[in-house]
Structure 1
Amino acid sequence: MLKLSNERIRILIVDDHPVVCSGLTNMLSARVGFEVIGSAASGEEALAVVQQDKPDLLLLDLRMPGMDGIAVMHALKHIEAPPRVIVLTSFEKDEDIYRSIRAGAQGYLLKDTTESEIVAAITVVDAGKRYIPRHIAARLADRMMRADLTGRELQILEMLAQGSTNKQIAGALDISDNTVRHHVNKIMDKLQVSDRTEAVATAIRRGVLSGTD
């Protein structure tokens, strides 16, 4: 929807940390042309506010109790004229960035981003363009060069992370040892690693597996 030049950008902040919401609200409300219409502490609350108040843009955290940021973006696709989304998060793992952009984020910022860059990102994204900082874009490009793991491969990778042997995985999934070995080899190939231990470590580092974050 086109915005008149004198209309303010209506922003909803979605983050489960009150201090973050308060700080962003104070910062952005002081800017000419911006209006913070409120904040939401969960994905479910955010969707309710979107339906009722129809903000232009969401500043959206990724990790929240219940419905996370990725799920929120998928849900927004089913809403008529959804707001644009900038992910504002502490997480910069390859998989977080990749999943966010695939889910529909038009921008991706870290929480240590400067005030001036947050303002610039909001202005650019509200105008219908993407805002992805250079170092984030480089990680996204690198991730897009790698093939996605299949559902079965992710399942086996999670079991490898739990310390399961091929035989244990085969028994749990009711498949042959040879099939497990085939999947493990495909996992290592896609993650560009040479052994199972490195596969698990790489998957955690990139955010394919959640690890302890």
Structure 2
Amino acid sequence: MSAAPANIRIYLVDDHPIVRFGLSALLQMQEDFTIVGSSGSGQDALQVLARTVVDVILVDLRMQGLSGIDTLERLREYHPQVKPIVLSSFEFDEEIYSAVKAGAMGFLHKEAPPEDIMKAIRQVYAGKQAFPRRIAERLDGKRMTAGLSGREREVLELVAKGLTNKEVAATLNISQFTVRNHMNHIAEKLEVSDRTEAIFIALQTGLITLN
């Protein structure tokens, strides 16, 4: 006699109603899934979780108000029993790494096939991580954040915009010597030989973005 399927209680957090509606419609068709609710913001979700039992929560990374990362951090602090999976339309390494540090156990692209979404939920419910192979390999790489400080990223973003060391120094009100030191540290951490390669690596991995 086979055992009854698990009842995985799922909560959805995304500021796009159509995403919440679509995911709810998809997931509630599974006999081992129960959609206990959804919210358009991290703040609303945290209030609901204070009075609702949830096993797995799907959290959009980019939301108005409380960000996905902030929501994950508060989940870890106040609702550590809830297992989070992040949702995103983007795959910037820095965001994914920050989400993992904040407690995310899995990652789902919003265009992932339905079977991948359901598999990830079941894996995370079972206490396992659920990251696509391409992301798991990048998470294992040393270049994802490379330990760059906020100021180092700020310097690198300005350099990537075409500013010289002198112009960066004037913009940040620091000396050219300090800028040169930052660039040397950046090159060491990213394991590159020049600023062109540093900019390329930082843009490709999401360490910096250019508006």
TM tier, shorter chain? 0.7 to 0.9
Q: Relative to structure 2, which stretch is displaced further, 187-196 or 49-58?
A: 187-196
Gap runs ≥5 in structure 2: none
Secondary structure, in 3 states, of the residue corresponding to 1:70?
helix
Query: In the superposition, relative to structure 1, how do residues 48 and 146 fare at CA in structure 2: closer, same or farther (>3 Å)?
Result: closer
Q: How large is the Cα RMSD of the aligned pairs?
A: 2.4
What one-letter code is carried by the residue in structure 1 that aligns with 2:176? D
Q: What's the TM-score once normalised by structure 2's chain length?
A: 0.86
Match of 1:110, as an amino acid? H
Q: CA deviation at 1:107?
A: 0.8
**Cα distance, 1:144 vs structure 2:** 5.8
2:40 aligned partner: 41
Mapping of 1:27-66 within 5 angstroms?
Answer: 27-66=26-65
Partner Cα separation in structure 2 for residue 193 and residue 167 of structure 1: 22
CA change 1:160–1:52 in 2 (3 A) is farther
Contact 2:41 2:65 in 1 (8 A): yes
**Is 1:98–1:144's contact at 8 Å kept on the other side of the alignment?**
no
1:39-84 per-position Cα deviation (integer Å, ceiling 9, x unaligned): 1112222222222323211111111122221111111122044410
Aligned residue for 1:120? 119
Between the aligned partners of 1:157 and 1:145, the Cα distance in structure 2 is 15
Task: Classify the secondary structure of the residue corresponding to 1:58.
Answer: strand
Deviation for aligned residue 1:163: 4.0
Establish whether residue 133 from structure 1 lines up as the match of residue 153 from structure 2. Answer: no
Superposed counterparts of 1:81-92, under 5 Å: 81-92=80-91
Pair 1:209–1:5, CA change in 2 (3 A): farther
Q: 1:127 to 1:202 in 2, by over 3 A?
A: same
1:69 aligns with 2:43: no
**Cα gap change, 1:135/1:22 in structure 2, threshold over 3 Å: closer, same or farther?**
same
Between stretches 171-180 and 134-143, larger displacement belongs to: 171-180
- Aligned-partner SS, 1:147: coil
Q: 2: CA distance between counterparts of 1:119 and 1:157? A: 39
Please report how far the alpha carbon of residue 182 of structure 1 lies from its aligned counterpart in structure 2 after TM superposition.
Answer: 1.0
Structure 2: distance between partners of 1:95 and 1:145: 6
SS in structure 2 at match of 1:152: helix
- Give the number of aligned pairs: 209
Between the aligned partners of 1:143 and 1:41, the Cα distance in structure 2 is: 34
1:59–1:88 contact (8 Å) kept in structure 2? yes
Contact 1:94 1:143 in 2 (8 A): no
Q: Within 5 A, what are the aligned runs for 1:173-192?
A: 173-192=172-191
Match of 1:102 in 2: 101
Summarize deviations over 1:129-166 as a string: whole Å, max 9, x none. 11122122112112467621012212322333444432
Q: Which sits farther off after the overlay, 117-126 or 173-182? A: 173-182
C-alpha deviation, 1:184, in angstroms:
1.1
Cα gap change, 1:60/1:10 in structure 2, threshold over 3 Å: closer, same or farther?
A: same
Q: 1:10: how far off?
A: 1.1
SS of equivalent residue, structure 1 residue 211: coil
1:183 alignment partner AA: H
Partner of 1:19: 18
